[in-house]
Amino acid sequence: MKFDTFSEYLSRMEGTAGRLELAAQLSELLRGLTPSETPAALYMVQGQLLPPFAGEPMGMAARLLLRAMERALGDQGEKGRSRDLDALLAEVGDPGLLAERLKMGREHGHLDLSGIYEALLEISRMSGSGSQDEKISRLAKLFQGVSPLSSRYLARFVMGRLRLGIGDSTIVDALARTLLLSPAEDEKAWKTEMKRIRQRVEGAYNLCSDLGRVGEVLRREGIEGLRSIRPSVGYPIRMALCERLGSGAEIIEKLGRAAVESKYDGFRCQIHCDGSHVRIFSRNLEETTGMFPELVSEARAILGRRTAIFEGEALGYDGENDSYHPFQVTITRKRKHNILEKSEEIPLKCLVFDLLYLDGETIMERPFSERRRLLEGVFPVHRPKFSEREVPPDHVFGASRLIETDDPHTIDLFFDEVVEEGFEGIIAKRLDGVYTAGSRNFNWIKLKRSYKGALSDTVDLVLIGYYRGKGLRTRLGIGAVLGAVFDPESGRYLSIARIGSGLTEEKWKDLREMLDDLRVPEPPPTVRSGLVPDFWVYPKIVVTVLADELTRSPVHQAGRSEGEEEGYALRFPRMVSGPRADKGPEEATTVSEIRRLFELQRQRSLRE
């Protein structure tokens, strides 16, 4: 496919608001591609060069982009050359529209999508002496080889500002639609079959976290070809998620006899070992291997030449008191510089809680009780009694603390004990439950200290806009933010709170700078809000918020069904953390979780 044709599809999708409509248009694009072109197209529509875990960002600095545009699109031959592109960019406000304007009326080539993609991949990997000028030169050639419309999207992509609002769920829908065209007569049968195909596509994605790989296999081999995608070392498995309940009695009613673990507050790590090679992935599948050298060296020592994928929670270790640091201290280990110095200052202990792959074989589909037995054969186990404090393992790795019980009272006692020790709460697990990659269900249930029987739980909100500062905050340029929850069914972000407290002045300034880079002139297609902020932003940043309670709201959109006049809102919300690097927007609190929290709150009020 020519890149100019690809850009025409991007233009159509840019003007499309609904997720289903976006999926239909993306599906049409995919059907026009060869299997080998599919990965590049899927990565690029999301504004990336490779899947997130591969760590290959584009994001060229504005000054380099402008120099490439000047070299390719400057006013050659005119007197008084050249125009001030910085001033033009300030006037237009969008590097893509500026590139399109400069390209108007000029001759251009017809480069292929694959050629553009490979060139951008090479540009992103250039480094060392003379690399900047080479990047500018190669990017200039790309501008010369595409149409004005293509110049718009090329410039936006290079700047990291494509932002079509196409998330993972939209791509999964689009891939499923490539196998099943719109219904001709029996719409009900079509929806049933579409659901089945979508589940197969999403299941394959959950096992490898690479939509490009899934798309190519699907286009080349069809739905049965997806069976070849299995868990493998180096491809992060999308992490299983928990549901919420409010008491030990509810947990036992739901699970029967269950395994119950401490819920730690640190870095969730998925660790892949293949002989001497170790890679670590975060909750949102970002590679963090270089940040945690002690985990890498200890994993090599324990596993040797064995292959394994396992999950654990890494916490900062206080050697003087033989205890764990709070999360605010642990989070300082997440850095790109001075890593060794910080690892000596705040070493890590990793409590391993699940084993997914061992010795070349996936064990995700085995019962949790069996996975736990295998886990305890690899990692040292310490089982303190109820009256004993949980002591960190002697070495870097150790199995998580766990009990088995069918007694609600025992769960409540265990909960009280781990909370008193400073942990977040507990997680109960179905003993015969499989590991459900990328899914939230009642195989895992969390009970946290902040909402045992009440609301006051923290929620993770996606920021969709912000307001100018007033009064003392005028100089900060920001006074409040507009937060939203995620609705997986529609792929939309639905407003739930305007938040104006919880951060220091310095952190408000930092947040505003991050939001400025995400500003868009109109609400993004995936955003629904009854409030209109001073500035809309692309939904990317996730923050943790605490509130006094949930209320029904005639303004906010979260939880508002068709025909309903009220959604949900947070009363007296305040941020308890700045942007969360470990969570992407689709990992934010969902609408269904909000409904569940509202029900927990209602039950508490009835008991009182």
Cite the DSSP H helix spans in 15-164: 19-31, 38-45, 62-73, 85-92, 95-103, 113-125, 131-144, 148-158
Does the active-site annotation cover 263?
yes
Q: What is the distance between the alpha carbons of residues 411 and 249, in angstroms, rounded to a whole number?
A: 8
Q: What is the distance between the alpha carbons of residues 205 and 236, in angstroms, rounded to a whole number?
A: 10
Classified as helix, coil or strand, 547 is coil
Classified as helix, coil or strand, 119 is helix
Q: Are 143 and 73 in contact (CB under 8 A)?
A: yes
CA-based nearest residue to 162, from 171, 170, 149, 153 = 153
Active-site position among 263, 349, 448, 583: 263
Q: Are 492 and 528 in contact (CB under 8 A)?
A: yes
Question: Is residue 78 packed enough to be buried (19+ CB in 10 Å), middle (13-18) or exposed (0-12)?
Answer: exposed
Q: Are 351 and 379 in contact (CB under 8 A)?
A: no
- Which amino acid type is present at position 474? T
Q: Which residue has the tokens 């504004």?
A: 47
Q: What is the distance between the alpha carbons of residues 105 and 455, in angstroms, rounded to a whole number?
A: 60
Q: Which residues pair with 242 in a beta bridge?
A: 441
> CB within 8 A of 575, min separation 6: which ones?
499, 501, 502, 503, 543, 544, 545
User: What positions carry a catalytic annotation?
Assistant: 263
